[in-house]
Structure 1
C-alpha cells in the first residue's frame, strides 16, 4: 500500500513468499486484523513513512495504522517493522501492534532481525507475545514509544551480549515508557538481559514489569542516564541490575563521546539543544555540560527483589569506584521469601491483597500481572 487510507485487511493467510507479505508506506488508518503470516523469506509486514519515494503520495507519513490479532511465525528476517513519525518535530505516528503472537522469526537472519523493530516517534507495542528467537524480541530506536502488557520469553537463546528489549548509542532517542511487561526464561549462560540500555542509552522509564529468570541480569544500564526503575518485580535472577560507567572507564567506549564521535554526530542530527528537544527533554539540552561520561538520574525506587543473588552489580574498572551510578533508594524490598504471590510454581506472580509488600514498600502499586500478554478476541 502506498498513500492509502481507511483500509482493513482481515482474516487472510499470507504464506510461502521469498520476501515479505505486506508493506504500508505513507498510509493512514489502515489495519491488518486477524491475519496469519508464515513461511516467509523476510519479515512479515512493515509500516513505514513514504518519504523515500520519488513521487510522494498525498500522505508521506504513516499514522494510526495497526496490526491487530495476527499470528506470525517461520519468517526469515524478523516479524514486524513498525515505524512512522517525524523525529525532527517529534510528531507521533501512533502506529501500533496489538494482541499479536510472534515466534520463530529468524530462519535466515539470526541477529538484529527482531520480532518487532520499532522506530520513528510515538508508536506502540501492546498485549503481544514474542518468543523462540536466537536474538532480540524488540529492537528499538526513535522517541516516545510505548511498550506495555507484553509477554516475552525464550529469546536471546543463541547470542551473547543481547537484550530482549534493546536500544542504544543515541542519547537523543528517549521518552520511552516500558511498563507492565512479563519477561521470563532468558538464558543465563550468555550475557543476556531483559532490558538493555546499551552504550549511553538514556531516557526510558521502566515501571511495573515482572522479570522472572530473565537472563544473567534482567537490566543492564551501559553508561547512560535518566533511566528510572519503579514498581518492578525481579524474581530468581543471579543479578538484578548491572550498571557501568563505560564512557569513563572502558577504552573501547571512550571514543563514542570524543569530539566528532558517534554521540556528537547523532545529537547534532536532531538539534538536541533546540525545541522541541530541549523543551520535551530538558535534561538533554545540558548533555555536554553535565559530564556525559558519568551515569546519573538512574533512580531505582519501590522495586521488589525476590531471590536475587546480587541486587546491583556495579562495574567501574577502578574509575570512580567510590561513587554510585544508581540512585538506589531505601524504599526497595530485598527478600529470599515468597512475598505473597498467588502461585509462584505456576508463574502467577500477582500479589495477594494481604501481601506484606504493600506495607514494606511505601507507595508500591499492585502490578496487573493478569493483563500481561495476549488475550482471545475475534479470529485469533
Structure 2
C-alpha cells in the first residue's frame, strides 16, 4: 500500500499541469483579474500575480506561467525587476511574451504629442538659429508635459566610465542627431599649443589641452556655455567627449575643460572631432537641441510632425533587470528609449532572451553581470581604484584591466537568441560568465542575433559583443556598422563560430574586428568558421582583422573566410605564442595577410619593465591574480608555466620570444603582400599554404560567396584542406536553430 501511494505521488509530481496565463494591456486595469478579457495594466501587476500563483508549492514545479503582453506601449518610470522570487524551474519556466506577435514596446521614454510642437516665435532664439532653419524648427515645452529631468552632458571616452546619456530624441524609432558641426565628416585638430595634463602617465593636475582651430566657424561658438567636442584627440583607438572651456577668436584657439587620457595630439588623419550641443548649428532636418534652463526642445522634424512619433528618453536605470533569478524567458518584446542599459542580467541561471528587439538606449543593449564604479578621483589607468556595482556599465574596462579574474556574477547557461540590438550608445552586448581563475565554464550563449550601429556615443571599448570569464559562446550572429571593434575578448575557452562580421573598425586606428590582448593566460579561445569582410579602411594604417595584442597566446583561428580585411594584418600578433592559423581563406586584402611583431625587440623594448617587472602587468596577472605554475593552469596550459622565467642572459624573459606559432594549410588569394615578420625572434612556422593571384574556384565572388567549388584546385594544392561550411555562417532561420 505504501509503495502504491509513493508511486502515485511520484506520478503526480512529474505530471505537467496546463500552463497558467495572465494578460496585460496598455488599456487594462491593475484591479482586473488579468484575463484576456480583463487584463492588467502594468507588467509589475502581472509579476505580482505570478508570485502569488506560485506560492502553491503543489503546482509550482509543474505549471508553466506565461504573461502575455498585448500590443502597445508600456512606459516605465522605474526598472521592471525580476528577482529570485520570480524564478521558474526547468520543468516550469516563467515567460513574459508578446501576444501573437503583437508589437509590444517597453520604453524608458515619453512620446511628445505633435500638438505640443509650435513654430519658434522668441526673437532671441530666432536670432541664434541659422537663417535657413528658422521657419522649420519647432519648439515643444517639455516642462508643461511634466518632464523636468533633461539629464546632463558628461565627459566620456577612453579610460573613463560609461555614463548614461543625457536626454535623446527619437523619431519613429530612429535616432535623431544633437545639433552639431559639421553635419557630416569632422574637423581636423590644428597645432597643439598645450597638450594638457596626461593622466596616462600619472599627471593628475587636471589641465585641459589647448589647440589652434582650423575652421573659422568656431568663432560663432565663443561664449556659449555648454559646447562639447567629440573625437580622437591623440590615438586612433581612444575617443573622448570633452567640454569646451574657452574659444579665443583672436588667437584662434580652443581650450578644453578637462584633459584627454594621453594629452592632445594632431597630424594623423584620424585626429578629428565634431562640435556638439549648439543651437546655432541646428541647420538640417533631424537635428535637435534642448535648452535645459527653459525646458524647451527645439527640433527640425525630418518629416511631417502630424502623426509622427517623437520620443525623448528619460529613464537612466535599466529598463529590465533580472537579478539572481532563473528559468525566466523574455520573448518578442521591444525594449527601447532609455538613457542607460536596456536589459541587465546578474546571477541566476538558464534565463533566455528570445526574439527581442533592443534599441535606442544610451549605453549597452544587454549586459550580463556587474559593472564598476571608479572611486579614484581622476582620469586614470594604472592607478585605477573602484568597486563592482550592479545595473550599470561604469568603469567596466578599467576594473577588468586591474582585476583580470574578476567574477562579475554573470550567471550560467543564459541565452540571447534571435534578437536584434542596434542604435545603442556604448556597445551591443556584454556577455560574462564562468570563473576564469578556476577555469569553470559559464555556458552563456549569444546566438542568431543581429547587432549593429552600437557606437552612437562611446567608440573605444564599445564593441558589438564583449565576452569575458570562461567558456562562453558567440555563434551564428551578424555584427556590423561600427567605428571600432565588433568583438572584444577577455578570458578563456570561449567559442566564436559561424559569425558574419563586416563593416567594422571604420572610423578608428589600431583597431580590429576581433580583439584579445595583454594577458598570456587568456588561452583556449577558438575563432572558427566566421566570415569577416570590409574591416577597417585603406587610409588608416593600423587596422586588423583578428588582433592578438601584447602577447596574446593560445588562439586557434581555423576555417574562417576573410575578404577586404585590414591594412596592418588580416591576422596580427604582437609577440604572441601558440597562435595557430589553419585552413582559412584569405581574399583581396589591402595589407599583409599575416603579421607578427616580436614586440620586445621592436617598439616595445622600452616597456619591458612595465610588463615583466616586479609590479608589471604580466607579473600581476600570471602570479598574483592566478598562478600559472599550479593547477588548473599548469595542467590545462603546461607550456605557459615558464613564461616569466629568465633566460641564461639574466635579462630576457621566456615570454619575450614568440614560440610555436603556426600558419598552415591556408588559401591566400589576390593579396599584394603576404607575410610580415618584424623584430628578432619573430617566429612562425609556415607550411602547406597556397598563394595565388587568380580566382581559385569560388562559387560566386561577385556576390561575396567565397565557398570553394567542389573541383577547386585548392583541394589539390593543399593536402587535407577541409571544406568550410560557408552556407551556415550568420543568423539562421528559426526552423534551422533546433
Normalised to the residue count of structure 2, the TM-score between the two structures is: 0.49
- 1:336 paired to 2:685: no
Counterpart of 1:325? 683
Question: CA offsets, 1:339-378, max 9 Å, x none?
Answer: 1110111111000111111111011000111111112227
Please tell me whether the aligned partners of residues 62 and 93 of structure 1 are also in contact (alpha carbons under 8 angstroms).
Answer: yes
**What SS class does the counterpart of residue 308 from structure 1 fall into?**
coil
Hey, which of these two has a bigger chunk of helix by percent? Answer: 2
Distance 2:359 2:531 in 1: 25
Structure 1: 5+ residue runs without aligned partners?
Answer: 55-59
1:355 to 2:699 alignment: no
Deviations 1:161-213 (A, max 9, x none): 11110010100111101100000001222211110001111111110001100
3-state SS, counterpart of residue 14 of structure 1: strand
State the distance in 1 between where 2:723 and 2:660 align. Answer: 25
Hey, what's the Cα distance between the residues in 2 that align with 1:252 and 1:213?
34
| Partners of 2:349 and 2:449 in 1: CA distance | 20
Deviation at 1:234? 0.6
Q: 1:219 aligns with which of 568, 571, 581?
A: 571
Write the distance in 1 (CA, Å) between the matches of 2:438 and 2:592.
Answer: 39
Contact 2:575 2:657 in 1 (8 A): yes
Partner of 1:244: 597
1:254 aligns with 2:608: yes
- Per the alignment, residue 586 of structure 2 pairs with 234
1:279 aligns with 2:643: no
Q: Distance in 1 between matches of 2:363 and 2:449?
A: 18
Change (3 A) 1:61 1:139: closer
- Flag the structure with larger Rg: 2
The match for 1:5 among 305, 315, 326 is 326
1:273 is displaced (CA, Å) by 1.1
**Worse-superposed segment, 285-294 or 266-275:** 285-294
2:560 matched residue in structure 1: 209
SS in 2 for 1:40: coil
Cα distance 1:135–1:53, how it changes in 2: closer, same or farther (>3 A)? closer
Q: Please say if residues 642 and 654 of structure 2, whose CA atoms lie closer than 8 Å, have aligned partners that are also in contact.
A: no
Offset, 1:252: 4.2
Do structure 1's residue 375 and structure 2's residue 375 form an aligned pair?
no
Could you say which residue in structure 1 is the equivalent of 2:72?
none
Deviation at 1:315, TM superposition (A): 1.8
Q: Which whole-Å CA distance do the structure 2 matches of 1:128 and 1:297 have between them?
A: 31
Structure 1 SS opposite 2:673: strand
Q: Which residue of 1 aligns with 2:361?
A: 40
Q: CA deviation at 1:52?
A: 5.3
The within-5 A match list for 1:157-196 is: 157-186=506-535, 187-190=537-540, 191-196=542-547
The Cα shift of 1:53 comes to 7.3
Q: Distance in 1 between matches of 2:501 and 2:389?
A: 35
* Counterpart residue number, 1:141: 490
> Does the aligned pair in 2 maintain the 1:342–1:349 contact within 8 Å?
yes
Q: Helix, strand or coil for the counterpart of 1:266?
A: helix
Q: Distance in 2 between matches of 1:343 and 1:41?
A: 40
Larger relative contact order (C-alpha < 8 A, sep ≥ 6)? Answer: 1
- Residue 288 of structure 1 deviates from its aligned partner by 2.5
Q: What is the root-mean-square deviation of aligned Cα atoms in Å?
A: 1.9
Aligned equivalent of 2:60? none
Q: Distance in 2 between matches of 1:241 and 1:338?
A: 20
Between the two proteins, the alignment pairs up a number of residues equal to 369
Residue 109 of structure 2 aligns with which residue? none
Matches within 5 A, 1:103-142: 103-142=452-491
Asked if residue 292 in structure 1 is aligned to residue 645 in structure 2, the reply is no
CA distance in 1, matches of 2:684, 2:417: 38
Query: C-alpha displacement at 1:88, in angstroms?
Result: 1.8
- Is the Cα contact below 8 Å between 1:4 and 1:28 reproduced in 2? yes
Q: 1:21: which partner in 2?
A: 342
Residue 89 of structure 1 deviates from its aligned partner by 1.2
Tell me the distance in 1 between the aligned counterparts of 2:556 and 2:499: 16
Q: TM-score, normalised by structure 1?
A: 0.93
Q: Provide the rounded CA distance (Å) in 2 between the counterparts of 1:168 and 1:336.
A: 33
The 8 Å contact of residues 247 and 257 in structure 1, kept in 2 or not, is answered as no
Query: In 2, Cα distance between the equivalents of 1:125 and 1:311?
Result: 29
Structure 1 runs (4+) deviating above 6 angstroms are: none
1:170/1:200 contact within 8 Å kept = yes
